[in-house]
């Protein structure tokens, strides 16, 4: 469970976030919705939220709120920010600037922002800080040409789920990808993708979801398949993984399993 912060003057945008949260509640996860009337109130809410995702209109107040977004990211790095607004008449460069400011995603109003897409933002970006740490440590062991794609694959549950998709993201062939990972002392791409899915499963289990619900979200064939995968990786059942530290626990197992350079990166962190 987390706080979902809103700074959205558009009633349509706010209602779609509400609907996404109702979908989450139906799956057994009750996030707390906290609307803000301005940047100062949003900052106050972020200060009181140990884990939060904020949907914000970056043009709230009349101009492009670059300074406010920068301060929010610097003060509260565990708050994942999603820019959600009508970008139709805005400069195309704004999306690039938002990325530089640390905004996790950009959603255009009336541009594919259905509740399922907003719910995917919750899945992808809540608790992003621990996943970022895992991705950064792993990238230290990867060859430079693979660092960006490797980080992207680890961070997002919606990233490519196949070796071919992973290779396409890295702009190389599957064979070249395998060779580069092996040379760096890292697991094969299939193993990395399997661990990535378990990392996201551990995070969702921490939200209080059942194994069956998490399995459906992450496209496991069944709750039993998820339980078997966790048992093979850790020797533990889902509730035991959560009790052992959840995502943080599984992240240490993952990096240790990577061995070589990745294990040294873990030790140095």
Domain of 168, CATH number, reads 1.10.10.60
pLDDT given for residue 112 in this prediction: 77
pLDDT given for residue 266 in this prediction: 34
User: Residue 183: is its pLDDT beyond 70?
Assistant: yes
pLDDT given for residue 141 in this prediction: 77
pLDDT in tens, 50-98: 678 899 999 998 899 999 999 998 888 778 899 999 998 899 899 889 9
CB atoms within 10 A of CB 118: 23
Average pLDDT for the chain: 85
Within this chain, do residues 136 and 231 fall inside the same structural domain, yes or no?
Answer: yes
pLDDT in tens, 190-236: 999 999 899 989 988 887 788 998 898 888 999 999 999 999 999 99
Domain boundary among 125, 149, 174: 125
Within this chain, do residues 191 and 254 fall inside the same structural domain, yes or no?
Answer: yes
User: Residue 7: is its pLDDT beyond 90?
Assistant: yes
Contact 89, 41 (CB under 8 A): no
Domain boundary among 65, 98, 125: 125
Within this chain, do residues 62 and 134 fall inside the same structural domain, yes or no?
Answer: no
Within this chain, do residues 135 and 188 fall inside the same structural domain, yes or no?
Answer: yes
Within this chain, do residues 28 and 70 fall inside the same structural domain, yes or no?
Answer: yes
Over residues 169-176, the mean pLDDT reads: 92
Rounded distance between C-alpha atoms, residue 130 and residue 112, angstroms: 28
Within this chain, do residues 133 and 260 fall inside the same structural domain, yes or no?
Answer: yes
Within this chain, do residues 30 and 158 fall inside the same structural domain, yes or no?
Answer: no
CB atoms within 10 A of CB 61: 13
Domain region containing 252: 128-268
User: Residue 261: is its pLDDT beyond 50?
Assistant: no
Rounded distance between C-alpha atoms, residue 107 and residue 118, angstroms: 9
Per-residue tokens: 18: 């509400």
pLDDT given for residue 189 in this prediction: 92
| pLDDT confidence band for 130 (50 / 70 / 90) | low
pLDDT given for residue 66 in this prediction: 94
Rounded distance between C-alpha atoms, residue 67 and residue 247, angstroms: 32
Domain boundary among 99, 125, 151: 125
Within this chain, do residues 264 and 132 fall inside the same structural domain, yes or no?
Answer: yes
pLDDT given for residue 127 in this prediction: 59
Q: What is the CATH number of the domain that holds 101?
A: 3.40.50.2300
pLDDT in tens, 15-35: 999 998 888 887 767 788 999
Within this chain, do residues 180 and 197 fall inside the same structural domain, yes or no?
Answer: yes
Q: How many domains does the chain have?
A: 2
Within this chain, do residues 32 and 162 fall inside the same structural domain, yes or no?
Answer: no
Within this chain, do residues 118 and 135 fall inside the same structural domain, yes or no?
Answer: no
pLDDT given for residue 97 in this prediction: 93
């Amino acid at each position: 469970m987390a706080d979902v912060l809103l700074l959205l003057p558009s009633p349509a945008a706010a209602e779609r976030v509400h609907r996404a949260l109702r979908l989450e509640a139906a799956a057994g996860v009750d996030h707390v919705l906290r609307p803000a009337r301005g940047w100062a109130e949003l900052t106050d809410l972020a200060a009181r939220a140990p884990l939060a995702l904020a949907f914000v209109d970056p043009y709230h107040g009349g101009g492009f709120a670059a300074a406010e977004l920068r301060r929010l990211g610097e003060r509260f790095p565990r708050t994942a920010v999603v820019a959600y607004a009508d970008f139709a008449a805005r400069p195309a460069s704004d999306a690039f600037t938002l990325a530089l400011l640390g905004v996790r995603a950009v959603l255009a109003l009336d541009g594919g922002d259905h509740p399922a897409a907003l719910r995917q933002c919750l899945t992808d970006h809540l608790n992003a800080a621990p996943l970022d740490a895992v991705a950064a440590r792993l990238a230290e062991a990867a060859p430079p040409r693979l660092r960006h794609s490797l980080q992207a694959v680890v961070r997002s549950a919606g990233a490519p789920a196949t070796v071919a998709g992973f290779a396409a993201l890295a702009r190389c062939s599957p064979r070249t990808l395998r060779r580069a990972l092996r040379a760096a002392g890292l697991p094969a791409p299939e193993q990395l993708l399997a661990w990535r899915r378990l990392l996201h499963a551990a995070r969702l289990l921490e939200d209080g979801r059942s194994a069956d619900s998490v399995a459906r979200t992450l496209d496991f064939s069944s709750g039993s398949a998820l339980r078997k995968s966790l048992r093979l990786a850790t020797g533990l059942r889902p509730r035991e993984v959560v009790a052992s530290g959840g995502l943080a626990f599984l992240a240490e197992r993952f990096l240790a399993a990577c061995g070589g350079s990745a294990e040294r990166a873990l030790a140095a962190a």
